[in-house]
């Protein structure tokens, strides 16, 4: 691993130490964004061509990386774009251009449902800030690739490829629909809109329990669309509420309402928020346990990535509801951000392999990425902080 310049770190630390401390969340956010900029400059210098950061194992001082085809590849450039948007950084601008030039190959990838994560968190943000024909072409090709995984019989976009007549759909897939809405508006082709709406409607019907918690996976029969099994791969048990899965649902249906203005989706998002915020196992500091039904609560691991996603979603959802609910969502999001930017969860300068957040939980049943930084945790925390700072979606 490459290390920070000792002098550079000392100077930055001195500047932070000399600054007058403030207890306001606004000040914490500004300080955290500065820390993120320094951390990501280190992370940037730790990568070679074609590499994307996944996580960091402190006990081994090991940065784990991926290629562009990994589902998380869009979060690193997306985080850089957000940070550069907040405070222009020539080094980030150069790195963003380099990484996007590598990532663009995935626009034709039809083997994954994660093109929203991969291409919209990256090229979508790039297009939002600097519209260009190149970005638009890449996003349209990405939407076409994603749409190719839709099946009319099932009414969903296939998540994981499988054998025989299995057709696997995960709650995470709600996060990829935003790319389709963009494509529909850009191309004036309602096909993409219709696919997104159909997928969301099928997911409401089959993924959610009566209390508005969700299963992680629904396995359909691809021949007739009937349900073969409902289960939870990354959570504690099939009938448990895996925290990040609940976060994906909250965020996804908030986006659905934004793009359609259909009250069905607003009511779904509000009901998911109700489940999350009022669950008896939601800690007072609002960073959830990795599963709301984990057997070892209160000693169970927290998942900072789930908290970051929830905070960002709530800051958008609060704009679509009445004043009382808006205040509730805003208060919860503020608590989440405040906790995540505390010493418990926020990395100190020069640590954590350059990542921002500690204590993310990837996949406990597979003992994969447990209690480590996660690139999507950073992305959604940065997004949440910018949403709060600029009062935007």
Catalytic residues: 114, 172
Sign for the pseudo-dihedral over CA of 76, 81, 86, 90: positive
H or E segment to which residue 167 belongs: strand 166-170
Contact 156, 169 (CB under 8 A): yes
What are the distances in angstroms from CA 89 to CA 41, 86, 95, 386? 10, 9, 10, 16
For residue 61, the 8-state DSSP code is T
DSSP secondary structure string, 244-295? HHHHHHHHHHHHHHHHH--HHHHHHHHHHHHHHHT-TTS-TT---BSBTT-T
What are the distances in angstroms from CA 375 to CA 71, 192, 238? 11, 28, 26
DSSP secondary structure string, 64-118? EEE-TTSTTTTHHHHHHHHHHHHS--HHHHHHHHHHHHHHGGGGG--S-STHIII
Contact 137, 208 (CB under 8 A): no
Of 382, 352, 353, 349, the closest CA to residue 15 belongs to 349
The pair of structure tokens assigned to 205 is: 């019907």
């Amino acid at each position: 691993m490459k290390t920070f310049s000792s002098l550079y770190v000392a100077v930055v630390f001195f500047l932070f130490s000399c600054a007058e401390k403030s207890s306001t969340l606004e000040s914490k956010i500004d300080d955290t964004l500065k820390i993120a900029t320094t951390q990501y400059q280190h992370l940037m210098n730790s990568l070679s061509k074609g590499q994307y950061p996944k996580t960091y194992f402190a006990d081994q001082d090991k940065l784990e990386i991926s290629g562009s085809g990994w589902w998380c590849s869009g979060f690193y450039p997306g985080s850089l774009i957000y940070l550069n948007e907040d405070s222009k950084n020539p080094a980030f601008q150069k790195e963003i251009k380099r990484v996007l030039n590598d990532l663009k190959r995935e626009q034709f990838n039809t083997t994954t449902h994660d093109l929203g994560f991969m291409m919209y968190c990256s090229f979508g943000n790039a297009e939002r800030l600097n519209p260009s024909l190149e970005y638009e072409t890449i996003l349209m090709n990405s939407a076409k690739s994603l749409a190719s995984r839709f099946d009319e019989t099932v009414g969903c976009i296939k998540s994981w490829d499988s054998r025989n007549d299995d057709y696997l759909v995960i709650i995470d897939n709600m996060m990829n629909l935003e790319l389709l809405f963009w494509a529909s508006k850009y191309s004036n082709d309602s096909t993409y809109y219709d696919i997104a709406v159909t997928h969301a409607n099928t997911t409401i019907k089959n993924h959610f329990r009566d209390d508005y918690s969700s299963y992680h996976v629904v396995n359909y029969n691809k021949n007739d669309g009937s349900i073969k099994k409902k289960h939870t791969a990354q959570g504690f048990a099939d009938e448990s509420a895996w925290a990040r899965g609940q976060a994906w649902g909250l965020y996804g249906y908030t986006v659905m309402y934004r793009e359609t203005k259909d009250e069905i989706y607003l009511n779904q998002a509000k009901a998911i928020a109700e489940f999350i915020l009022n669950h008896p196992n939601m800690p007072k500091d609002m960073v959830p346990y990795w599963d709301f039904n984990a057997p070892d609560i209160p000693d169970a691991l927290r998942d900072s990535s789930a908290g970051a996603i929830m905070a960002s979603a709530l800051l958008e959802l609060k704009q679509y509801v009445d004043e009382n609910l808006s205040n509730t969502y805003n208060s919860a999001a503020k608590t989440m951000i405040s906790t995540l930017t505390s010493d418990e969860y926020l990395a100190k300068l020069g640590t954590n392999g350059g990542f921002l957040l500690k204590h993310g939980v990837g996949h406990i049943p597979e003992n994969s990425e447990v209690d480590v930084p996660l690139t999507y945790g950073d992305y959604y925390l940065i997004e949440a902080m910018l949403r709060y700072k600029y009062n935007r979606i």
